[in-house]
Structure formats: structure tokens, C-alpha cells
Amino acid sequence: MRISAAEPLLRVKNLHAGYGKVGILFGVDMHIMPGELVTLLGPNGAGKTTLLCAISGLLPWSEGAIDFAGHSLHRKGPRESGALGLVHVVEGHRVFTQSTVSDNLLLAGYDLPRAERMARVAAALDYFPEIAAKRHALAGALSGGQQQMLAVAQGLVRRPRLLMLDEPSAGLSPVLVDRVFGVLAQLRAAGTAVLLVEQLIEKALAVADRLYALAQGRIVLTASADEADLPARLEHAYFGQDANRSLASSSA
Amino acid sequence: MASDRTLPASRIRAAQPSHRLASLAPFLAILVFLALLPLWGNDYRALIGTRAAIYWILVAGLNLIVGFAGQLAIGYVALFAIGAYTASILAAGNLMTEISPALALLAAAAVGAGFGLVVGLPALRLRTFYFAMTTLGFATIVTQIALGWQSVTGGGIGLSGPSLPAPFDSAWGLYGLCVGLAVVATIMSANIAHSRFGRALIATRDAEVAAEANGISKPAVLVCVFLFAGAAAGLAGGLFATLQTYITPDAFTFDLSLLFFISVLIGGRGSILGPLLGTILLTLLPEIAAPLAAWSTFVYAGLLLVIVLAMPGGIAALLDRSNRQPLAANRAIVPNIASLGRLLGTARSAQNLTLSDVVLSFGGLRAIDGLTLSVRPGEVHGLIGPNGSGKTTTLNVISGYYRPQQGRIVLGDTDLPPGQPVGRAALGICRTFQTPRIIGAASVLENVMVGGTLSGRASFVEALLSLPRSHRDEAAIRQTARLALEVVGLGALEDVRADHLQHSELRFLEIARGLMLCPRLLLLDEPAAGLSATEILRLGTLIRAISRAGVAVLLVEHHADLIFEICDQITVLNLGRVLAHGTPAEIRVHKEVVSAYLGG
Amino acid sequence: MLSSILASGLAIGAIYALIGITYNTMFATSRVMSFTAGQLGMLGGVLGSMFILRLGFPLVAGLAATLLCCAAVGVATEFIAVRPVLKSLEQHLYVLSTLAFALLIQQVTAIEWSTEPQPFPRLFGIGSGIWDEKYWLPVVTCAATIGALEYLYRRTLIGRAFRAVAEDNFAARALGLPERNLRVASYALAAVVGGLAGFSGGELMLAFFANGSQLNFYGFIPVALGGLGNNRGALIGGLALGLFQQAANFMVGGIFASVAVFVLFIIVLLAAPQGLFGSTVARRV
């Protein structure tokens, strides 16, 4: 873990969240330092998406605490957290298919003065020349990979201090995955913190500083991305939970 | 089917007499009041009393549609008008030779039933607002026809209603007749409400998909109640024409329709007493507070708004004290595996489920891409894989919600017809859902009894009249349901409203409901999601025991430890295809699986 | 005869289309079909008559006051009848809450205004016969409204935001769009459209409280036929309905025209529950 005297940009303490009566997260603790690229790993259903939604305020939560850049995010919606510089790009490249590429980006800068909005859209498009070429096309006409880039670009228009990306590689060809991850590296170099939820463990670890592993709503492993034997430790962390439980000792 | 699944005598709890009396008491009190009314009433009171009784005859039927089936039929005044005009026209002989007033009333009920079906049928295809609009449109049309068809209806001038012979020609005579018929309507609607048909109606309202999975055919039950409610409305209309002695289209305004509709909602959905009180209240309101008369529709609308926003349960929820007490917080689900044998004792012949080369695409995306799979009785078969690998889709194909483009699904030697979820339960296939689909407003026991709908033998008419076969059905279903609750460990909670349960309890409740079918094949969709470690342990034991009783179990799950502990076979899906298949020990060491499942 | 069928059919059809657009505009941001759509049309006529005839406002001030009041009613609808039930999982609640709210509007109008149709002022005094302003005014208003809405949706940021919320509410919230305010704004916008329908059709329909339920039904038909949220479908459906209704009126008389419209409506709806231009059913499981 990086040792630093600085305050963390994001701090999550003992967070419990879920949908209605269904608990998903059971006391999650994590933090992210300014400029750090952290990846959040975990098996399906572990609660990664739920955690991102709780942090960005898309999902209301009641127990625990989330602080971002010195502000409590309790009862703050995505609009307020976004204004503080916490930007969440949701999974599944959910862009507005009936609007053009440039309209999608303009909407990301909804609250900005017009000139500023235009400048930021242009800056965001610089990262992705392949969608800049299609700025007047409907977003629905883009390929899945281009839509994902557009979703990331929407996040960039909002000038995040922390960008949270939920499975940006899903459905992308390896070449495009490398493009997106390349942009992440650029962002970190520019001082933006990134929280990356990923299925592609190796690629994620290659760009990340640090990782958290989530399983069944709890953080089960936290490590620096360059530590040895991580895949085996991850597997152990996912499967080895509650090792004292046994139903049929044969399979344990 | 249930005959040789007996419980020890001590376990059989007949509906406690005191409890039944308590629930009947309000009805008896109203009846006594109505019986005594002639003693201190004048003719005006008789008129109001008769009107309330007539309205209730209609609302008793409408209640099954709005309150139980949840269909927003806001234009029921149309059927009321049709009944009134039918009785009047036939008694007056405007269309054919005149018939006796009593026959005319019966004819009104019959015509009402027919049009009840016509008004109701769109509900099988249209939802909420759309259906509400069609009933509203129908109400407008009926009034227009009454105005326009002058030779028969008298147009705007109207015509005389049927006049009944003595003793029903006096104010109190008609009052007695209407109250008597209202009692009959109450009993009939209560009979339906408390039968498997009533539960089926509520199930289609609150958990439509689960209702289908339990073999409830929404069209079949809806058609029955539309006929019944139409007949009640037609009869009520005929009686109304008798009471008014003269009818014009103006008598059947939309305001009256609102009175009927709002009576049900003020009363509370899924209750008989509530809507009865609602009807009485709304009928009396303008009489008690005369200055309100002009504002009566405004008051009704205001009441409706308040009910919807502040008191969705209506009067019935106010009266229901039993569900106010909080449940013990530290309760535990302790399945009683020992009773499983008695529940599934006469289990059906064991059969393999085989999927061969199933393909299902949504648009261009192949959600299932040539899946072949075999689940054997007595085994737990785990289905795992990353998100979007087609696990739940596979369950949906097996249970008939999706229609695959290719491939066969065979249970034993029966080909499962694609895309017909309703037929699955009869074949012994039952399932649970990722998000438990239960009837929150019904008790735990009633929820489980929904699973026994198919085992009932009595017809709708037998249930309506509460004939012996219907009684036997009810007793058997109730007894089996109690046993099923005991098996999954929820026996102590049978009277609790299901929406008061914890999430984990709902998962076991769904399994109990499924066991009511004596299934050959049990499909479980992430049953462990949201459960605590102890609960998962117990769930695992329960699932294993069910499979060992001869049931084939197909389990979709994310919890790796549960999968590896209880499955006999595991199939790993990725992108709609089988990535690997084998025993837990084989799968654990399968490199590709580990990487696909964990993401690598 | 043909020309008067065309004139009155297009006029009535334009009013229906505008009410259909009112439904659509509210639906787009909230997924709620509101029974208040027709009442807003009714209010456009009643308030117009009240401000201009009873209170003597000049035309422009009367129109502005009418639309302002309608917008207030639209916002009130959102706060009272829509927002509280949006969180609920039970889909049917909005039908009841908006029905109740619509009835409150209608009853207050009936009691405080009049239960009889009241005259609506002649606004410009232009034209006579089939070219009378009462026929072309709704058509012109409908065309202008659709043009203005197209401009709003295609050219302005707030219009794009409306469309974004309509297409994917979750993504719009994640993007930091003020989804709640946009919903309120769309209710105000819808109310203005409904008010315009009633105001421009006032000379044709008069200022009558019962117009509300009529417009509710006949304004819904174009939506049902054209597919929810499809303004183009509502326009085509509305004009077709108006023409069909007026033609049937002339040929078989008003009562059987209503029956014909209703029967046609039911048949089309049962054959294509998603409307003729609508999309397919959502997944259930």
C-alpha cells in the first residue's frame, strides 16, 4: 500500500447497502488517494456495481459513511457528488442512442456555461479520435466499443477528480480494451484518480496501483498491484471464505 | 394426490372457531342492523337502505375484479345501466313480448354476465391505464346508445322500470329482497375469495409471473370472475330500475361508476368487509351531510387521492390489527427435513430433464448458443458462469417464458412445448425467482397455498356455492401447505403477511410454494442471494434433501461454496455455451473455469 | 359536405393530437399516463373564457394567464399525484392518483365555473364558413406547437436533456442531469400544450367542464394508436381520428359515430396493444 501523509480523496467506512430488504454490501471499508488508480475485483454478484452506485449516490444507503474530498456524501445524489468531482460511468455503455455523439457529450456538461461546455467536449473528444470523427452520428449507430468510449468521454467532460468505471472492457475487442486502458493511464498521469471495476484481472492489474477484492458484500483482500501470486490469493479469497463451514466435508 | 399425506391429529388445526366468529362478527352486526332498520325507519330510509344494498350487489362482484384481480375497471356503471335497461325493456315489452319482472331481472343478470365478459376481455391483453380507458369508453358508449336507441330505450325521456309483484312492491318489501340478495352476493364473493380461485386472482395481481409458474391461467380465472361480476352488476341494475320505477340515461353518470370503484379502493384491496363498509359509507355520505351533495364526487375523488397516497390498504388495513405486532427479530429458519418424506411421499415418477442443442437469440445476440444439458432425478445440478452467460435465461427457457429458436427440451419422454409457462406446473416443474415473487398482502400460508392451485378439483361454480368438493379441496391444500411450511422451517409464521418477512424467509417461502406441486423438477434461481452464512448452510441441507427425495434440482447460483458443497454435477456456462461439465471436484481444478468464473 | 367534414375533422383532430402530445410529454420523463391530460385541455377553454370574457383581459394577456395557470396545474400534478407514487413498485397507483386529481380539477370547475357550456370569445374574428378561425386555429396551433417542440428537442440543451431522461432515466441521473427538475418542467410543458389545445379549440368546443373527460378519452386514442411517447404517431392518429369521427358524424349520426370510434379503437388496440407505430413488449422475467 502506498504510504502517504495526504488525506484520502475517497473514504468509505463500514458501508451497508442493498435493494429494499436485500442486503448486498455488509460493512465495506476502502479508500482511494488522490491520483491513484485502484481496481475493484470480485466474482459475479459480489456487489461491485452496488458499491459504485452507493458511492456515486445512485443508490441511497443509510449505514456507514462515505467522504469525498472532505465532504460527506450522505444523502447526496449523483448530481451533487458529480459537482464535487466524483464521476461514475455506469456499466453497459448506456449512452443516449437517440441523440448524436456530440449531444451526448454536451449533456454531460449540462450545468456548465456554454463556452466551457464546448471546450470540454472538444478536449474529451481529443482522447478518442475514432468517435470524434462520428460526432454528428447518432450514438445508437456506434459500435459497442465506440459507445463505451463515448461513455468514458462523457465522464471526462465532467472533469473528474475521481473517475469510477464499471466494466469498461465488457463487450470490447482486445484492441479497444487496450485503447480504453491507455486512456486510463493517461488520466492517471494527469493526476485523476480512477476506481476501475474489471473482469479482465491481468489487464486491470497492469494499469492499477492497488486492488481491492470484494466477495459477498465484503472486502476480502486488499493488496498492491505488483505483489506476487495475486491470482492464487484472489482465488483463495473468493472461495476460501468461511472455510470453517462445511456441509459435505468431501468437497472442501 | 394429497389423500395419503396425513398429519398427526395434533398438528391439524381447523380454523379456530373463535377466530372465525371474530371475522364474521362485523358482517353479522351489519346484518342485524339492516334487519332492525324497518322498526324505526320511514320510507326514505328504506330507499337509502335499498340503494346501498343494490350498490353492494354490484360492488361485491366488482371487488373481485378491482380488489382481488387488480384490474382497474373504472366504468362499471355501464353494466349497471345495461342491467337496468335490459330488465326495464323486457318487462315493458319494447323489444319482444313482455316477460314477468322476475324473469326480466334474471335476464338482466344474464345479459350483464355477457357484457361483463365483453368489457373484461381487453384486460387479457391490455394493462392498467389502457384497460381503465377501455372501460371508461364503454361506459360512455352505453349511455350514448341508451340516448340514441329511442324506439327501445325511450331515449332521453326514458322508460319505466319493472314493477315486482307483492310482497316486493312496497318500499320495505323491495328492501328485504335487495338485502337478501346482497347477503347472497356477499357470501358468494367471499366463497370465491377464500377459495383457490380467490388466491389465484390475487396471485395474478401481485405476482403474475409466479402465478403462471404455479399453473394459474390468468384468462381462465379472469373470465370466470368477469362473468360473475357482470351478472351481479346486471342484477343490481335491474333492481335499481325497479327501485327508481323510471330510468333515464342521466341516472347512469360516471359519478356513479366512481362511487362503485372508489368503494372498493377505500375498503381496501383483497378484503370483503372493507369494500362493504366503503359502499355503505359512500352511499350514506351525501345523505348524512346534505350540503355535501353537490360536492360528493369531489369528496370521492379526494378520498381516493388520500387513500392512494396515505393509506393504500384502505379501511381493511385499519381494521386489521393482527399484523401490527412486530415479529420477533431473532427468529431463525430451521427446516424440518424429516417431514419432507411425508410432503413428497407420493412423489411422481422420477424423470430426467434433457436439453439438447437449445439456441435462443435476442435480436442478434445469442443468449443460449447450442446448450445441451441433462438433469437427473435425485441430483442437484449446479449451473454457474459469469454474468450474461445465460444461466437465468436457461431457466426461463425450461419454464417456458422464452421460446428457443432451436433445440428440444424433454422431461422424461414428454417434449416441453416452448413458450407456454402455464403448462409447466402440471408437468411437475416448479421454480423460484431471482427476486422472490410473492403476494405481499397475503399471509404466508396463503402464499404457499397458491402453489396448490392445480391440486384443486372443484370448479368455479362449486367454489361460488361452497359445495363439499370445494371444502375438501381447501382442507387438503391448507394441510399440505402447513406441512410444506414446516418442512422449510417457516411453520411459526403462517399467519403473518408475507411482506413482513425478511428477504431470506421469502426465499424459503418460494421453495415451500414450489414443493406444493410435488415437483419432478425444481429450478432454483440464486436462492442463496441475500442469505446469511447460517441460512445458506440450512438452505443447502434443504436443497440436498429435496433432491434425495427423488426430485431433479437445477440450481443457478453465485455462491461458490454452496455450489461446491451441495451439487452432484456442475455445468459451467460462458457466452451461452457449456464451458465445462463435471463433478465439483473436477470443476474446481478446471483452469478455464476458474478464470471465466472469477474473471481472468 | 366533404369540405365541412374536412374542416371540422382536421380541427377536432388537431385538438386530439395536442392532447395526445400532452400525454406523451408527461409520459416521457415519468413513465406515467396521467388522466389530467384531457382536463388541461378543458382548463385551456374554461380559463380562456374566464380571463377574456369574464375578467376582460386582452387576448395576449388572457392567453398568457391561461397558460400560466395550466402550467401551475401541471406542476401541481407532478408534486401531488405523480411524485409520491413514482417510488412505489405498484404500477397501478399512478392511474388512481392521477384519476383522482383529474376528478378534483373537473369537479371544482363544474361547481365554481358552471355545469353548462359557456361561450368562448371570438379571438381574431377572421374567416367564415369552413375557413372560420374556429376550424383553422387548432390546426395552426397544432402545427406551431409541433414545430416548437421539435426545435426544443433538437436544438436546445434542455430539450436534449428531456429526451435523455425519457430514453434512459438511470443513465441520465448517473450523468448528473437534474432529472427531478426536468420532470417537473416537462409537466409544466405538457400542461402548456394541453392548455393551448383547449384555448385554440375553445371556439369549437366552448368552455365546458365535461370536455375534460371527452378529451381524456379521444386524446388517448391517438396515443394508443400511435404508440406511447411517439408524437408523430399522435399527430397522425389524432388527425385520422378527427376525420373519421366527423365523417361518421355526418353519415350515421353522432351516437353511432361514437360507437364506431370506440369499436375501432378496441379492435386496433387488441390487435396491436403497443400501437401501430409502437415498440415491442418489455421482458417480464
What is the dihedral angle through the alpha carbons of B450, B453, B456, B461, rounded to the nearest 10 degrees?
100
CB contact under 8 A, B600 and A231: yes
Is C167 in contact with A111 (Cβ distance < 8 A)? no
Tell me, what CATH number does B353's domain have?
3.40.50.300
Strands A71-72 and A63-68 come out as antiparallel
B157 phi and psi angles, rounded to 5 deg: -75, -30
Q: CA dihedral defined by B173, B179, B180, B182, rounded to 10 degrees?
A: 150
Residue C205 has pLDDT above 50, yes or no: yes
DSSP for C99-154, please give it: HHHHHHHHHHHHHHT-SS-B----SS----GGG-HHHHHHHHHHHHHHHHHHHHHH
Cell of A120: 470540454
At B17 the pLDDT is: 52
Question: CA B106, CA B102: separation in Å to the nearest integer?
Answer: 6
Instruction: Please indicate, yes or no, if residue B53 is contained in any of the structural domains.
Output: yes
How far is B229 from B112, CA to CA, in rounded Å? 8
Which of helix, strand or coil describes residue B584?
helix
Closest listed residue to residue B505, CA positions, set B485, B520, B519, B524:
B485
Nearest to B111 by CA among B127, B122, B99: B99
What ipTM does this complex have?
0.90
Q: Does residue A251 belong to any structural domain of this protein?
A: no
Does the distance separating the beta carbons of A235 and B559 come in below 8 Å? Answer: no
Class of residue B423 by CB neighbours under 10 A (exposed 0-12, middle 13-18, buried 19+) = middle
pLDDT of residue B312: 81
Q: What are phi and psi of B149, to 5 degrees?
A: -85, 65
* DSSP structure class, residue B330: T
Residue A59 lies in domain:
10-93+162-239
Q: Which residues make Cβ contacts (< 8 Å) with residue B6, sequence separation at least 6? A: B342
In a domain, A228, yes or no: yes
C136-155, pLDDT tens digit by residue? 999 999 999 999 999 999 99
Q: State which of B207, B228, B252 marks the end of a domain.
A: B252
Parallel/antiparallel/unpaired status of strands B552-556 and B569-574:
unpaired
Residue type, C219: G
Task: Determine the pLDDT at residue B19.
Answer: 66
| Whether the predicted pLDDT of A42 surpasses 90 | no
DSSP 8-class letter at B466? T
C114 touches chain B (CB under 8 A): no
Minimal Cα distance from C224: which residue of B?
Answer: B130
Is B454 inside a domain boundary?
A: no
Mutate to test the interface with C, among A22, A76, A84, A98 (most CBs of C within 10 A): A98
Give all strands of the β-sheet with B365-375 in edge-to-edge order: B365-375, B353-362, B406-411, B414-415
CB B375 within 8 A of CB B353: yes
**Proportion of chain A in helix, strand, coil states, percent, rounded to 5:** 40, 25, 35
CATH code, A46: 3.40.50.300
- DSSP-derived 3-state class of residue B14: coil
| pLDDT tens readout for residues C220-248 | 999 988 888 889 999 999 999 999 999 98
Which residue from C minimizes the CA distance to A158?
A: C175
Beta-bridge mates of residue A25: A17
Q: Is the pLDDT of residue C277 over 90?
A: no
A213 occurs within a structural domain: yes
The pLDDT of residue B199 is 96
A88, A106, A111: residue with CB nearest C174: A88
Q: Is the predicted pLDDT of residue A90 greater than 90, yes or no?
A: yes
Strand partners, B486: none
| Cell matching residue B547 | 433432491
Under 8 Å between Cβ of A87 and A163: yes
B369-375 CB contacts, 8 Å cutoff, 24+ apart: B369/B575, B369/B576, B369/B577, B370/B406, B370/B407, B370/B576, B370/B577, B371/B407, B371/B573, B371/B576, B371/B577, B371/B578, B372/B578, B373/B571, B373/B578, B375/B521, B375/B552, B375/B553, B375/B554, B375/B569
Q: Which residues of C touch A84 (CB under 8 A)?
A: none
Cβ distance C100 to B301 less than 8 Å, yes or no, reads yes
Q: Could you tell me the residue ranges of all domains in chain C?
A: 2-271
Domain total of chain B: 2
Domain that holds residue B526: 337-442+501-598
What b/e readout covers B276-294, taking b as 16+ CB neighbours within 10 angstroms? bbbbbbbbebbbeeeeeee
Is the CB of C269 inside 8 Å of chain B's CB atoms? yes
Q: Are strands B414-415 and B429-431 parallel, antiparallel or unpaired?
A: unpaired
Report the distance separating Cα B63 and Cα B232, nearest Å. 11
Of chain B, the end-to-end C-alpha distance in Å amounts to: 50
Cβ pair C174:A79 closer than 8 A: no
User: What nine digits make up the cell of B260?
Assistant: 362503485
Burial of residue B361 (CB within 10 Å: 0-12, 13-18, 19+) is middle
Closest among B82, B124, B132, B129 to B107, alpha carbons compared: B82
Q: How confident is residue A247, by pLDDT bands cut at 50, 70 and 90?
A: very low
Residue A60 pLDDT greater than 70, yes or no: yes
* Calpha distance B504→B510 (Å, rounded): 10
- Do B85 and B188 lie in a common domain? yes
Write out residues in chain B with pLDDT < 70, as ranges: 1-19, 322-324, 346-348, 595-600
Q: Is residue B537 part of a domain?
A: yes
What does the longest C-alpha to C-alpha distance in chain A come to? 67
Q: Mean pLDDT across chain A, nearest whole number?
A: 87
> Do residues B407 and B371 make contact, with C-beta atoms less than 8 angstroms apart?
yes
Question: pLDDT at position B7, please?
Answer: 39
| Per-residue pLDDT, C227 | 82
**B interface mutation test: which of C32, C90, C96, C220 has the most B CBs within 10 A?**
C96
- Say yes or no: B568 contacts chain A, CB-CB below 8 A: no
Contact residues on chain C for B130, CB-CB shorter than 8 A: 224, 269, 273
Whole-number pLDDT of residue A241: 45
How are beta strands A37-41 and A193-197 bridged, if at all? parallel
Give me the DSSP letters along A99-119: SBHHHHHHHHTTTS-HHHHHH
What are the cell numbers at C247?
365523417
With contacts defined as CB-CB under 8 Å, which chain A residues touch C161?
107, 110
**In chain B, which residue's Cα lies nearest the Cα of C252?**
B148
Instruction: Give the pLDDT score at B598.
Output: 55
Is A242 in contact with B537 (CB distance < 8 Å)? no
pLDDT given for residue B402 in this prediction: 92
In whole angstroms, give the CA distance from residue C242 to residue C244: 6
Q: Which residue of A21, A87, A94, A120 to mutate against C (max C Cβ within 10 Å)?
A: A94
**Higher per-residue pLDDT: C256 or B57:** B57
Residue A249 pLDDT more than 60? no
Q: In this structure, is residue A247 part of a structural domain?
A: no
B147 assigned to some structural domain: yes
| pLDDT tens readout for residues C72-124 | 999 999 999 999 988 776 777 899 999 999 999 999 999 999 989 999 999 98
- Residue B483's CB: how many other CB atoms inside 10 A? 25
CA dihedral A208, A212, A216, A218 (to 10 degrees): -160
B367 contacts in chain A (CB < 8 Å): none
Give the least confident one: A150-164, A226-240, B238-252, C230-244: A226-240
Which contacts of A172-179 are long-range, i.e. CB under 8 A and separated by 24 or more positions? A172/A144, A172/A145, A172/A148, A173/A145, A176/A145, A176/A148, A176/A149, A177/A203, A178/A203, A179/A128, A179/A149
Residue B129: its chain C contacts at CB < 8 A?
A: 33, 95
In whole angstroms, how far apart are CA C124 and each of A83, C42, C57, C136?
50, 21, 14, 12
Ranking B110-119, C128-137, C190-199, C266-275 by mean pLDDT, the lowest is C266-275
Cis amide leading into B584 (omega within 30): no
**Residue B376 within any structural domain of the chain:** yes
- The answer to whether position B298 is within a domain reads no
Per-residue pLDDT of B371-416, as tens digits, reads 999 999 999 999 988 777 889 999 999 999 999 999 999 998 889 9
From chain C, pick out residues whose CB is under 8 angstroms from the CB of A78.
173-176
CA nearest B554: which of B436, B430, B459, B466? B430
Which pTM does this prediction carry? 0.89
Question: Is residue A127 in some structural domain?
Answer: no
Assigned domain for A168 exists: yes
Per CATH, which fold does C2-271 belong to? ABC transporter involved in vitamin B12 uptake, BtuC (1.10.3470)
CB-CB under 8 Å, A96 with C164: yes
CB distance from C262 to chain B under 8 Å? yes
Q: Which residues of C touch A106 (CB under 8 A)?
A: 157, 160
E-state strands within B526-568: 552-556
Q: How far from chain centre, in Å, is Cα B485?
A: 20
Q: Does the beta-carbon distance from B387 to A23 stay under 8 Å?
A: no
pLDDT at position B13, please? 41
* Per-residue pLDDT, B558: 83
- pLDDT tens digits, residue range A97-141? 999 999 999 999 999 999 999 999 999 999 999 899 999 999 999
Give the three cell numbers for residue B538.
Answer: 440450512
Closest C-alpha among B342, B350, B388, B349 to residue B369? B388
**A26 found inside a domain:** yes
Closest-CA distance, A106 to chain C, in angstroms, reads: 8
